[in-house]
A and B are shown apart, each in its own frame.
Chain A
């Protein structure tokens, strides 16, 4: 099952003795701080986990796959995630189980 904000809050409640409300607020604030940082054009480096970087893409030609019509894909800024060495190594070891 996928990890969600609700489960993260539950974990803070159980492991760190946060109240239910503190735990829920903490998880919200955590992700909002990350969003705000990226929105301000700033890179995020979380050691042991990974980096969130921003990339500016220039306009490029695209096509509507349904109609075949040519439409330009506008210039945009996107977020990319690069997992850190530690996380990569841990994930790599997974058996080809899925």
Chain B
């Protein structure tokens, strides 16, 4: 499912909001989530999961093409931990 398919599916379920309003809302929510992580804050959605940042220590890497070594600085990477409800529902679908 892509972002535009998500908007279409929500529009089928939210009969009192226009497709345009739903599109704005979905974009706004995703922007807000991305901005939150970009500012170094967490996202906690009960029943869905939490997004946080994991630290990666600086390391010496290698350019696989040239073989040259490169110093890679410390960085943060986004991490998602599924919540209980999502974990259980997804896992139940394995045996369904």
Q: Which residues of B contact A39 (CB under 8 A)?
A: 89-90, 92-93
Contact (Cβ within 8 A) B29 A30: yes
Majority SS of interface residues in chain A? mixed
Using Cβ atoms and an 8 Å threshold, which residues of chain B touch A45? 1-3
Q: A44 to B30, alpha carbons, bound, how many Å?
A: 13
Interface size class of A (residues with CB under 8 A): 35 or more
Residues of B within 8 A of A88 (CB): 77-78
- Range class of the B interface residue count: 35 or more
Contact present for B90 and A90 (CB under 8 Å):
no
* Binary interface encoding of chain B residues 62-86 relative to chain A, with 1 for a CB under 8 A from any of its CBs, else 0: 0000000000001111111010011
**CB of A71, distance to nearest CB on chain B (Å):** 17
Q: Do A48 and B34 form a contact, CB below 8 Å, given A26-B14, A31-B47?
A: yes
A77, B91: Cα distance in complex, Å: 5
Q: Which residues of B contact A73 (CB under 8 A)?
A: none
Say how far B10's CB is from chain A's closest CB, in angstroms: 6
20 examples of A-B residue contacts, CB within 8 angstroms: A2-B50, A3-B42, A5-B45, A11-B32, A15-B28, A18-B25, A22-B16, A22-B17, A26-B10, A31-B47, A37-B1, A38-B89, A39-B90, A50-B78, A75-B94, A79-B80, A83-B77, A87-B78, A91-B53, A94-B53
